[in-house]
């Protein structure tokens, strides 16, 4: 039986390290509702991400919904269809209309040159996505947002620990949402956070994740329940001290992929942007004029016990639940990429011999 190679695998601390971190919970019985571990992790993440304000959530999706509600968005939101379901679902679930903008062909993030033509008198915000840890054109998006008085919320689920010219990625836009799901570079089992610069948002965001309570017995907003619990926070406190080491391990995997596959006729790899400190979150390969299609490579890897992922396919704009609801301008680049992209296995303890084996399977199809 062939060894199964998953597309990703969570980084976790040593068992004893986590047990030591949670041991006192059996004494305090403080399991949720902004306990000591929650507060400590919030402070440590603020320092690590170099952001002024940060609120923890039970997951990134509810964090994004809360960001939309905190900024009181209405009407239309310009976003990308080349993203995980959560981005579009959050917009729709908060009663807004997603307006899909095409992506650029270099790093698959939203194309700022196509944003302004989509702005109407109903547009209230832009929600771009840092795809695979590749950073959007933040300066240009900021210019557009200010020019048209639009809020900007970044879906930074893939961008934990990324820096642009030394500045933490959570400092751009009005709010940035991070995901700490088990599949991400940094995880709290499940979890997420909102980072922002304006202190006036702090009380509102804190309230929205706790049923709208502002003072004891007082409810000012129709909030939800999105609080991170102490066991999640404990995992984060254990994982954070190892994060740079984990990223370095991921970097070695990416370098091996690049060495083996770069320059191969018919495929495209994404080159890192200048001035960006990468987190090596994903390794996407675009099969353009390769001898085999993306789907054929996917099946060949699967036959060998290797689970790659068609990520992102289909586009969220093509989901059955949205069929006929949000018809807008065509997104030909996003369509093209979604039909051809494959993310290969990538995690910190992925053996380089396994990487070589994955590459050999692809090279043998050339």
CA separation for the pair 68, 91 (Å, rounded): 7
Residue 353 has φ and ψ, to the nearest 5°, of -65, -35
Query: How far is it, in rounded angstroms, from Cα 41 to Cα 144?
Result: 34
Residue of 46, 15, 49, 22 lying closest to 36 (CA atoms): 22
* DSSP collapsed to 3 states, the chain: CCCCECCCCCCCCCHHHHHHHHCCHHHHCCCCCCCHHHHHHHHHHHHHHCCCEEEEECCHHHHHHHHHHHCCCCCEEEECCCCCHHHHHHHHHCCCEEEECCECCCCCCECHHHCHHHCCCCEEEEECECHHHCCCCHHHHHHHHHHCCCEEEEECCCCCCCEECCEEHHHCCCEEEEECCCCCCCCCCCCEEEEECCCHHHHHHHHHCECCEEECCEECCCCCECCCCHHHHHHHHHHHHHHHHHHHHHHHHHHHHHHHHCCCCCEEECCCCCCEECCCCCEEEEECCCCCCHHHHHHHHHHCCECCECCCCCCHHHCHHHCCCCCCCCCHHHHHHHCCEEEECCCCCCCHHHHHHHHHHHHCCC
Q: Is the peptide bond before 43 cis (omega within 30 degrees of 0)?
A: no
What does the alpha-carbon distance between residue 118 and residue 215 come to, in Å, rounded to a whole number?
41
pLDDT of residue 214: 87
Q: Yes or no: is domain 15-241 CATH 3.40.640.10?
A: yes
d(CA 366, CA 360): 10
For residue 73, how far is the Cα from the chain centroid? 21
- Write down the pLDDT at residue 325: 92
pLDDT for 282: 98
Q: Which two tokens stand for residue 163?
A: 């820096």
- Mark the ranges of the chain whose per-residue pLDDT is less than 50: 1
- CA atoms of 207 and 35, how far apart (whole Å): 16
Task: Report helix angle 243-261 to 352-363, nearest 10.
Answer: 30
Query: What fold does the segment set 243-363 form as a domain?
Result: 3.90.1150
d(CA 292, CA 288): 9
pLDDT of residue 2: 67
- How far is 236 from 58, CA to CA, in rounded Å? 12
Hey, what are 141's tokens? 């998006």
- This prediction has a pTM of 0.96
Buried b (16+ CB within 10 A) or exposed e, 280-295: bbbbbbbbeebeeebe
Residue boundaries of the structural domains of the chain: 15-241, 243-363
Phi, psi of 268 (to 5 degrees): -125, 130
Number of Cβ atoms within 10 Å of the Cβ of 206: 17
Q: 277 pairs with which residues across the strands?
A: 163
Q: According to the model, what pLDDT value does residue 152 have?
A: 98
């Amino acid at each position: 039986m062939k060894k199964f190679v998953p597309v990703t695998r969570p980084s976790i601390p040593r068992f004893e390290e986590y047990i030591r971190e949670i041991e006192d919970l059996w004494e305090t019985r403080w399991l949720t509702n902004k306990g000591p571990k929650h507060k400590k992790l919030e402070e440590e993440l603020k320092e690590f991400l170099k952001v002024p304000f940060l609120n923890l959530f039970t997951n990134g999706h509810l964090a994004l919904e809360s960001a939309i509600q905190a900024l009181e968005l209405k009407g239309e939101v310009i976003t990308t269809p080349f993203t995980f379901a959560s981005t579009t679902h959050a917009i729709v679930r908060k009663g807004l209309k997603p307006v899909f903008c095409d992506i650029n062909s270099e790093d698959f993030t939203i194309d700022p040159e196509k944003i302004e033509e989509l702005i109407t008198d109903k547009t209230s915000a832009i929600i771009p996505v840092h795809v695979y840890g590749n950073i959007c054109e933040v300066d240009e998006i900021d210019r557009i947002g200010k020019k048209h008085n639009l809020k900007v919320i970044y879906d930074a689920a893939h961008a934990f620990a990324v820096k642009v010219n030394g500045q933490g990625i959570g400092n751009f836009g009005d709010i940035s949402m991070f995901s700490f799901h088990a599949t991400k570079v940094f995880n709290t089992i499940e979890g997420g956070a909102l980072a922002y610069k304006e202190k006036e948002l702090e009380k509102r965001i804190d309230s929205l994740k706790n049923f709208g309570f502002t003072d004891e017995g007082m409810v000012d907003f129709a909030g939800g329940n999105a609080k991170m619990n102490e066991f999640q926070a404990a995992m984060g406190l254990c994982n954070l001290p190892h994060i740079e080491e984990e990223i370095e391990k991921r970097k070695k995997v990416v370098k091996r992929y690049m060495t083996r596959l770069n320059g191969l006729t018919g495929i495209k790899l994404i080159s890192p942007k200048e001035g960006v400190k990468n987190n090596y979150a994903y390794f996407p390969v675009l099969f353009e004029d390769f001898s085999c299609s993306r789907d054929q490579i996917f099946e060949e890897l699967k036959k060998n016990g290797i689970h790659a992922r068609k990520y992102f396919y289909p586009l969220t704009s093509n989901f059955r639940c949205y069929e006929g609801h949000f018809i807008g301008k065509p997104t030909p680049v996003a369509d093209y990429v979604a039909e051809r992209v494959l993310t290969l296995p990538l995690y910190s303890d992925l053996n380089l011999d396994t990487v070589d084996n994955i590459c050999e399977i692809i090279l043998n199809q050339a």
